[in-house]
Amino acid sequence: MRKRRFFLKLIMVLCLFLIANTVFALLAYHATTWLYSRLGAEPQGFWLQLGTVIGVFVLFACSAAIIFLIGLNRQRNYWDTIVDALSRMAKGDFDVKLDLKADEEDQFGQLIHGINHMAVELGELERMRQEFISNVSHEIQSPLTSINGFAKALKNINLPEEKRQHYLDIIELESHRLSKISENLLKLTSLESQHHPFEPKQYRLDKQLRNVVLALEPNWLEKELDFDLHLDNICITADEDLMNQVWMNLLTNSIKFTPNKGTISLSMRLDSDRITVIVQDTGIGLTEEQQMHIFERFYKADQSRTATNGGSGLGLAIVKKIIDMHNGTITVESKLAEWTRFLITIPIVSISARAND
Protein backbone atom coordinates (compact mmCIF):
# COMPACT_ATOMS: atom_id res chain seq x y z
CA MET A 1 0.00 0.00 0.00
CA ARG A 2 2.79 2.41 0.90
CA LYS A 3 4.75 1.58 -2.28
CA ARG A 4 1.64 2.13 -4.37
CA ARG A 5 1.12 5.57 -2.85
CA PHE A 6 4.77 6.37 -3.46
CA PHE A 7 4.55 5.45 -7.16
CA LEU A 8 1.31 7.42 -7.57
CA LYS A 9 2.97 10.49 -6.06
CA LEU A 10 6.01 9.97 -8.32
CA ILE A 11 3.80 9.79 -11.43
CA MET A 12 1.93 12.93 -10.35
CA VAL A 13 5.21 14.81 -9.86
CA LEU A 14 6.49 13.73 -13.30
CA CYS A 15 3.21 14.80 -14.93
CA LEU A 16 3.32 18.19 -13.22
CA PHE A 17 6.96 18.57 -14.25
CA LEU A 18 6.13 17.87 -17.91
CA ILE A 19 3.12 20.19 -17.88
CA ALA A 20 5.15 22.95 -16.20
CA ASN A 21 7.99 22.60 -18.72
CA THR A 22 5.51 22.68 -21.61
CA VAL A 23 3.97 25.90 -20.25
CA PHE A 24 7.43 27.36 -19.63
CA ALA A 25 8.47 26.48 -23.23
CA LEU A 26 5.40 28.23 -24.69
CA LEU A 27 5.97 31.27 -22.52
CA ALA A 28 9.68 31.36 -23.34
CA TYR A 29 8.99 31.00 -27.07
CA HIS A 30 6.50 33.87 -27.12
CA ALA A 31 8.69 36.00 -24.85
CA THR A 32 11.81 35.56 -26.99
CA THR A 33 9.82 36.13 -30.17
CA TRP A 34 8.46 39.39 -28.75
CA LEU A 35 11.93 40.42 -27.53
CA TYR A 36 13.55 39.71 -30.92
CA SER A 37 10.86 41.72 -32.68
CA ARG A 38 11.49 44.68 -30.40
CA LEU A 39 15.23 44.44 -30.91
CA GLY A 40 14.85 44.03 -34.65
CA ALA A 41 16.97 40.87 -34.60
CA GLU A 42 15.89 37.58 -36.11
CA PRO A 43 18.30 34.79 -34.98
CA GLN A 44 17.95 31.49 -36.72
CA GLY A 45 18.65 27.80 -35.97
CA PHE A 46 20.76 27.16 -32.90
CA TRP A 47 20.59 30.70 -31.52
CA LEU A 48 16.82 30.78 -31.72
CA GLN A 49 16.56 27.49 -29.80
CA LEU A 50 19.20 28.63 -27.29
CA GLY A 51 17.17 31.72 -26.47
CA THR A 52 14.07 29.59 -25.89
CA VAL A 53 16.01 27.17 -23.67
CA ILE A 54 17.44 30.01 -21.61
CA GLY A 55 13.96 31.44 -21.22
CA VAL A 56 12.64 28.06 -20.03
CA PHE A 57 15.52 27.76 -17.56
CA VAL A 58 14.93 31.28 -16.17
CA LEU A 59 11.20 30.64 -15.74
CA PHE A 60 11.84 27.25 -14.13
CA ALA A 61 14.47 28.69 -11.78
CA CYS A 62 12.18 31.56 -10.73
CA SER A 63 9.26 29.19 -10.11
CA ALA A 64 11.47 26.78 -8.11
CA ALA A 65 12.83 29.67 -6.02
CA ILE A 66 9.32 30.94 -5.27
CA ILE A 67 8.10 27.44 -4.33
CA PHE A 68 11.22 26.88 -2.19
CA LEU A 69 10.71 30.15 -0.30
CA ILE A 70 7.03 29.40 0.30
CA GLY A 71 7.88 25.84 1.47
CA LEU A 72 10.74 27.12 3.65
CA ASN A 73 8.47 29.63 5.35
CA ARG A 74 5.81 26.98 5.88
CA GLN A 75 8.38 24.52 7.22
CA ARG A 76 9.75 27.18 9.56
CA ASN A 77 6.23 27.79 10.91
CA TYR A 78 5.80 24.03 11.39
CA TRP A 79 9.04 23.66 13.30
CA ASP A 80 8.37 26.77 15.40
CA THR A 81 4.99 25.27 16.35
CA ILE A 82 6.60 21.93 17.24
CA VAL A 83 9.39 23.56 19.28
CA ASP A 84 6.83 25.70 21.12
CA ALA A 85 4.75 22.60 21.92
CA LEU A 86 7.80 20.74 23.24
CA SER A 87 8.78 23.76 25.35
CA ARG A 88 5.29 23.89 26.90
CA MET A 89 5.46 20.17 27.66
CA ALA A 90 8.89 20.60 29.25
CA LYS A 91 7.35 23.19 31.60
CA GLY A 92 4.56 20.80 32.62
CA ASP A 93 1.80 21.97 30.27
CA PHE A 94 0.46 18.83 28.61
CA ASP A 95 -2.68 20.39 27.09
CA VAL A 96 -0.90 20.41 23.75
CA LYS A 97 -2.35 19.29 20.46
CA LEU A 98 -0.68 19.96 17.12
CA ASP A 99 -3.29 20.59 14.42
CA LEU A 100 -0.72 20.62 11.61
CA LYS A 101 -1.94 18.89 8.48
CA ALA A 102 0.34 16.03 7.53
CA ASP A 103 0.14 12.50 6.18
CA GLU A 104 0.45 10.10 9.14
CA GLU A 105 2.29 7.63 6.94
CA ASP A 106 5.28 9.90 6.24
CA GLN A 107 7.97 10.77 8.76
CA PHE A 108 6.70 14.29 9.46
CA GLY A 109 3.18 13.02 10.05
CA GLN A 110 4.50 10.32 12.40
CA LEU A 111 6.42 12.99 14.33
CA ILE A 112 3.28 15.10 14.82
CA HIS A 113 1.23 12.04 15.80
CA GLY A 114 3.98 10.97 18.24
CA ILE A 115 4.07 14.40 19.93
CA ASN A 116 0.27 14.48 20.30
CA HIS A 117 0.28 10.94 21.72
CA MET A 118 3.13 11.79 24.09
CA ALA A 119 1.24 14.87 25.36
CA VAL A 120 -1.84 12.75 26.08
CA GLU A 121 0.18 10.07 27.91
CA LEU A 122 2.17 12.60 29.94
CA GLY A 123 -1.05 14.40 30.82
CA GLU A 124 -2.53 11.14 32.07
CA LEU A 125 0.62 10.43 34.10
CA GLU A 126 0.45 13.91 35.62
CA ARG A 127 -3.21 13.38 36.52
CA MET A 128 -2.35 10.06 38.16
CA ARG A 129 0.56 11.68 40.02
CA GLN A 130 -1.64 14.44 41.38
CA GLU A 131 -4.31 11.93 42.36
CA PHE A 132 -1.68 9.72 44.01
CA ILE A 133 -0.29 12.65 46.03
CA SER A 134 -3.81 13.66 47.05
CA ASN A 135 -4.64 10.11 48.15
CA VAL A 136 -1.38 9.72 50.08
CA SER A 137 -1.94 13.05 51.83
CA HIS A 138 -5.49 12.06 52.75
CA GLU A 139 -4.48 8.64 54.05
CA ILE A 140 -1.64 10.02 56.15
CA GLN A 141 -3.65 12.96 57.44
CA SER A 142 -6.35 10.76 58.95
CA PRO A 143 -4.16 8.84 61.46
CA LEU A 144 -2.05 11.93 62.16
CA THR A 145 -5.18 13.87 63.10
CA SER A 146 -6.25 11.09 65.47
CA ILE A 147 -2.81 10.82 67.05
CA ASN A 148 -2.60 14.61 67.49
CA GLY A 149 -6.08 14.84 68.98
CA PHE A 150 -5.70 12.05 71.51
CA ALA A 151 -2.17 13.17 72.43
CA LYS A 152 -3.60 16.58 73.39
CA ALA A 153 -6.35 14.86 75.39
CA LEU A 154 -3.72 12.94 77.37
CA LYS A 155 -2.31 16.23 78.68
CA ASN A 156 -5.39 16.55 80.88
CA ILE A 157 -4.10 15.58 84.32
CA ASN A 158 -7.64 14.88 85.52
CA LEU A 159 -8.24 12.28 82.83
CA PRO A 160 -9.43 8.95 84.31
CA GLU A 161 -6.97 6.07 83.94
CA GLU A 162 -9.46 4.02 81.94
CA LYS A 163 -9.84 6.76 79.33
CA ARG A 164 -6.12 7.40 79.33
CA GLN A 165 -5.46 3.76 78.50
CA HIS A 166 -8.17 3.86 75.82
CA TYR A 167 -6.57 6.91 74.19
CA LEU A 168 -3.16 5.27 74.30
CA ASP A 169 -4.58 2.19 72.57
CA ILE A 170 -6.01 4.37 69.82
CA ILE A 171 -2.70 6.20 69.36
CA GLU A 172 -0.92 2.85 69.13
CA LEU A 173 -3.47 1.58 66.59
CA GLU A 174 -3.22 4.73 64.45
CA SER A 175 0.59 4.65 64.63
CA HIS A 176 0.51 1.07 63.39
CA ARG A 177 -1.85 2.10 60.61
CA LEU A 178 0.46 4.96 59.60
CA SER A 179 3.43 2.60 59.62
CA LYS A 180 1.50 0.13 57.45
CA ILE A 181 0.65 2.84 54.91
CA SER A 182 4.31 3.82 54.70
CA GLU A 183 5.40 0.19 54.39
CA ASN A 184 2.90 -0.52 51.61
CA LEU A 185 3.84 2.66 49.74
CA LEU A 186 7.50 1.70 49.83
CA LYS A 187 6.63 -1.83 48.74
CA LEU A 188 4.50 -0.66 45.82
CA THR A 189 7.11 1.90 44.74
CA SER A 190 9.81 -0.78 44.86
CA LEU A 191 7.70 -3.20 42.79
CA GLU A 192 7.02 -0.54 40.17
CA SER A 193 10.62 0.64 39.99
CA GLN A 194 11.60 -2.35 37.81
CA HIS A 195 14.51 -2.95 40.21
CA HIS A 196 12.78 -5.04 42.85
CA PRO A 197 14.48 -8.44 43.26
CA PHE A 198 12.69 -11.21 41.39
CA GLU A 199 14.01 -14.64 42.39
CA PRO A 200 11.88 -17.47 41.00
CA LYS A 201 12.47 -20.94 42.38
CA GLN A 202 10.56 -24.20 42.46
CA TYR A 203 8.44 -24.89 45.54
CA ARG A 204 5.21 -26.57 46.66
CA LEU A 205 2.31 -24.17 46.12
CA ASP A 206 -0.13 -26.20 48.20
CA LYS A 207 2.32 -26.24 51.10
CA GLN A 208 2.72 -22.44 50.88
CA LEU A 209 -1.05 -21.92 50.97
CA ARG A 210 -1.46 -24.20 53.99
CA ASN A 211 1.30 -22.32 55.82
CA VAL A 212 -0.42 -18.98 55.19
CA VAL A 213 -3.72 -20.37 56.51
CA LEU A 214 -1.94 -21.61 59.62
CA ALA A 215 -0.19 -18.25 60.11
CA LEU A 216 -3.59 -16.53 60.07
CA GLU A 217 -5.21 -19.11 62.36
CA PRO A 218 -5.65 -16.72 65.34
CA ASN A 219 -7.55 -14.29 63.08
CA TRP A 220 -10.05 -16.76 61.66
CA LEU A 221 -10.47 -18.72 64.89
CA GLU A 222 -11.41 -15.50 66.68
CA LYS A 223 -14.29 -15.04 64.21
CA GLU A 224 -15.14 -18.79 64.26
CA LEU A 225 -14.66 -19.08 60.50
CA ASP A 226 -14.54 -22.40 58.66
CA PHE A 227 -11.69 -22.95 56.20
CA ASP A 228 -12.48 -25.30 53.32
CA LEU A 229 -9.25 -26.40 51.60
CA HIS A 230 -9.03 -28.32 48.29
CA LEU A 231 -5.33 -28.25 47.47
CA ASP A 232 -3.40 -30.63 45.22
CA ASN A 233 0.27 -31.45 45.44
CA ILE A 234 1.56 -29.01 42.78
CA CYS A 235 4.99 -27.41 42.35
CA ILE A 236 5.44 -24.06 40.65
CA THR A 237 8.43 -21.89 39.77
CA ALA A 238 7.86 -18.37 41.10
CA ASP A 239 9.17 -15.86 43.62
CA GLU A 240 8.08 -17.53 46.85
CA ASP A 241 8.32 -14.42 49.04
CA LEU A 242 6.28 -12.26 46.67
CA MET A 243 3.62 -14.92 46.15
CA ASN A 244 3.44 -15.41 49.92
CA GLN A 245 2.44 -11.76 50.21
CA VAL A 246 -0.27 -12.29 47.58
CA TRP A 247 -1.91 -15.10 49.56
CA MET A 248 -1.45 -13.26 52.85
CA ASN A 249 -3.17 -10.10 51.54
CA LEU A 250 -6.05 -11.97 49.90
CA LEU A 251 -6.79 -14.23 52.86
CA THR A 252 -6.46 -11.36 55.34
CA ASN A 253 -9.06 -9.42 53.36
CA SER A 254 -11.37 -12.44 53.28
CA ILE A 255 -11.11 -12.85 57.04
CA LYS A 256 -11.74 -9.13 57.61
CA PHE A 257 -14.88 -8.95 55.51
CA THR A 258 -16.43 -12.30 56.33
CA PRO A 259 -18.94 -12.19 59.20
CA ASN A 260 -18.53 -14.44 62.25
CA LYS A 261 -19.09 -18.16 61.59
CA GLY A 262 -18.72 -17.65 57.85
CA THR A 263 -16.76 -19.82 55.42
CA ILE A 264 -13.61 -19.27 53.38
CA SER A 265 -12.65 -21.78 50.71
CA LEU A 266 -9.29 -22.18 49.07
CA SER A 267 -8.89 -24.37 45.99
CA MET A 268 -6.75 -24.73 42.88
CA ARG A 269 -7.29 -25.80 39.29
CA LEU A 270 -4.63 -26.98 36.85
CA ASP A 271 -5.06 -25.92 33.20
CA SER A 272 -2.24 -27.14 30.96
CA ASP A 273 0.81 -25.03 31.90
CA ARG A 274 -1.09 -22.63 34.21
CA ILE A 275 -2.48 -22.94 37.72
CA THR A 276 -5.55 -21.10 38.99
CA VAL A 277 -5.98 -20.51 42.71
CA ILE A 278 -9.49 -19.63 43.86
CA VAL A 279 -10.09 -17.73 47.11
CA GLN A 280 -13.79 -17.49 47.98
CA ASP A 281 -15.56 -16.22 51.07
CA THR A 282 -19.10 -15.70 52.32
CA GLY A 283 -18.40 -12.07 53.10
CA ILE A 284 -20.08 -8.75 52.43
CA GLY A 285 -19.57 -8.95 48.65
CA LEU A 286 -18.91 -6.20 46.12
CA THR A 287 -21.01 -4.17 43.71
CA GLU A 288 -20.17 -4.17 40.00
CA GLU A 289 -18.65 -0.70 40.30
CA GLN A 290 -16.50 -1.78 43.25
CA GLN A 291 -15.28 -4.78 41.27
CA MET A 292 -14.14 -2.44 38.47
CA HIS A 293 -11.92 -0.38 40.82
CA ILE A 294 -10.91 -2.91 43.46
CA PHE A 295 -7.27 -3.17 42.27
CA GLU A 296 -6.68 0.59 42.09
CA ARG A 297 -4.40 2.31 44.59
CA PHE A 298 -6.16 3.59 47.71
CA TYR A 299 -9.54 2.35 46.51
CA LYS A 300 -11.68 1.19 49.43
CA ALA A 301 -14.82 -0.76 48.69
CA ASP A 302 -16.18 -0.08 52.18
CA GLN A 303 -14.83 3.11 53.76
CA SER A 304 -16.18 2.46 57.25
CA ARG A 305 -14.92 -1.10 57.46
CA THR A 306 -11.48 -0.38 56.03
CA ALA A 307 -11.05 2.53 58.42
CA THR A 308 -12.00 0.33 61.34
CA ASN A 309 -9.65 -2.41 60.25
CA GLY A 310 -6.78 -0.08 59.42
CA GLY A 311 -6.89 -0.68 55.67
CA SER A 312 -5.10 1.69 53.31
CA GLY A 313 -6.43 0.50 49.96
CA LEU A 314 -2.95 -0.55 48.80
CA GLY A 315 -3.02 -4.29 49.51
CA LEU A 316 -4.82 -5.38 46.34
CA ALA A 317 -2.79 -2.94 44.23
CA ILE A 318 0.34 -4.71 45.50
CA VAL A 319 -1.25 -8.10 44.78
CA LYS A 320 -2.08 -7.04 41.21
CA LYS A 321 1.47 -5.81 40.62
CA ILE A 322 3.04 -9.04 41.90
CA ILE A 323 0.74 -11.15 39.73
CA ASP A 324 1.62 -8.98 36.71
CA MET A 325 5.32 -9.54 37.43
CA HIS A 326 4.65 -13.27 37.16
CA ASN A 327 2.84 -12.84 33.82
CA GLY A 328 -0.39 -13.90 35.51
CA THR A 329 -3.89 -12.51 35.90
CA ILE A 330 -6.21 -11.82 38.81
CA THR A 331 -9.96 -11.30 38.52
CA VAL A 332 -12.78 -10.85 40.98
CA GLU A 333 -16.36 -12.12 40.98
CA SER A 334 -18.88 -11.23 43.64
CA LYS A 335 -22.50 -11.03 44.68
CA LEU A 336 -23.33 -8.26 47.10
CA ALA A 337 -23.99 -9.42 50.68
CA GLU A 338 -23.36 -13.06 49.72
CA TRP A 339 -19.89 -13.95 48.46
CA THR A 340 -16.67 -12.81 46.79
CA ARG A 341 -14.32 -14.92 44.70
CA PHE A 342 -10.77 -14.05 43.57
CA LEU A 343 -9.22 -16.10 40.75
CA ILE A 344 -5.44 -15.93 40.45
CA THR A 345 -3.91 -17.57 37.39
CA ILE A 346 -0.15 -17.83 36.94
CA PRO A 347 2.14 -19.98 34.79
CA ILE A 348 3.53 -23.04 36.53
CA VAL A 349 6.95 -21.76 35.44
CA SER A 350 6.79 -17.98 35.97
CA ILE A 351 9.26 -15.62 34.36
CA SER A 352 9.32 -11.95 35.28
CA ALA A 353 7.70 -9.65 32.75
CA ARG A 354 10.84 -7.52 32.92
CA ALA A 355 12.85 -10.39 31.46
CA ASN A 356 10.86 -10.03 28.24
CA ASP A 357 11.42 -6.28 27.87
Which of 12-26, 179-193, 210-224, 314-328 comes out lowest in average pLDDT? 12-26
pTM for the model stands at 0.63
Mean pLDDT, range 52-60, rounded to an integer: 70
pLDDT value at residue 321:
93
Say what angle helices 107-153 and 161-192 make with each other, to 10 degrees: 160
pLDDT value at residue 308:
47
Q: How far is CA 160 from CA 74, 151, 240, in A?
A: 82, 15, 49
Which of 5-14, 30-39, 71-80 comes out lowest in average pLDDT? 30-39
pLDDT value at residue 278:
97
Q: How far is CA 6 from CA 2, 64, 139, 301, in A?
A: 6, 22, 58, 56
pLDDT tens digits, 287-314: 999 999 899 887 766 554 444 455 567 8
Please indicate whether residue 140 or residue 336 has the higher confidence score (pLDDT).
336
pLDDT value at residue 314:
85
pLDDT value at residue 335:
92
pLDDT value at residue 305:
45
Q: Is the pLDDT of residue 179 over 50?
A: yes
pLDDT value at residue 49:
61
Q: Is residue 104 within 8 Å of residue 98, measured between CB atoms?
A: no
pLDDT tens digits, 226-257: 999 999 999 999 999 999 999 999 999 999 99
Q: Is residue 278 within 8 Å of residue 266, measured between CB atoms?
A: yes
pLDDT value at residue 334:
94
The mean predicted confidence, pLDDT, of the chain is 81
Share of the chain above pLDDT 90, in %: 35
Compute the half-sphere exposure of residue 167: CA atoms within 13 Å on the CB side of its CA: 17
Mean pLDDT, range 188-206, rounded to an integer: 86
Please indicate whether residue 269 or residue 180 has the higher confidence score (pLDDT).
269
With cut-offs at 50, 70 and 90, classify the pLDDT of residue 98.
Answer: confident
